[in-house]
Amino acid sequence: MTIQVGDSLPNANFNVLDDGVRTVDTESVFRDRKVVLFGVPGAFTPTCSAKHLPGFVEAMPEFDRRGIEVACLSVNDAFVMRAWADAAEVPPGIRMLADGNGEFTRALGLEMDATAFGMGMRCKRFALYAEDGVVRLLNVEAPGEFRTSSAEHVLAQLD
C-alpha cells in the first residue's frame, strides 16, 4: 500500500558517502525537521539529471529560507549517489540518500519494476513534504511524467 498524507514515514536505513559509507536512519533524517524528500528512478538518468535534481539545486535557497531541508532518494548505492552529486554540483544542503536495496522505497509503496529498461526495481518519481516524520504533502508522478514532483510545484503547494 502506498504511503498517504498523515502517515508516519517507515523506519529504514539509508547509506550516504562522506569519508566512507555511513548508515543513517529515518529518524535521524526526519525527526524534529521539515523535509522535502524527492525520489527519482535513477541517478544519471535523463529526466532526473536534466530536470529533477537541478530544479531542487536551483530552489535550495528558497527551501532554506523556509527552514525546509531537502533530500534526494534513489535505489542506487552510496557511491553512485555521491558521483551524481559531484557531477551535478549538488550543494551540501541536499542530502543524497542511497536506498540501495530499495527497502525504504518498498516500505513507502513507491517501487516500480523497470526491468524492461534493464534497471530492475526502482523508485517511482515523487516528492513528499514531511514534518517530524509525518507526511503532509505527497505527489507521485504517473509513469513518464515530470510535473508534480518538481521543486517549483512543491514550493507552490507549500505557499
Do residues 76 and 100 touch, judged by C-beta distance below 8 A?
yes
Whether 48 is catalytic: yes
Q: Which set of grid coordinates corresponds to residue 77?
A: 548505492
Residues facing 14 on adjacent strands: 24
Amino acid, res. 134 = V
Say how far apart CA 149 and CA 146 lie, in whole Å.
7
Count CB atoms within 10 A of the CB of residue 11.
12
Q: Which of 12, 16, 36, 48 is flagged as catalytic?
A: 48
**57 in Cβ contact with 64 (< 8 Å):** no
Q: What is the grid cell recorded at 95?
A: 542530502
CA dist 7 and 27 (Å) reads 14
Provide the annotated active-site residues: 48
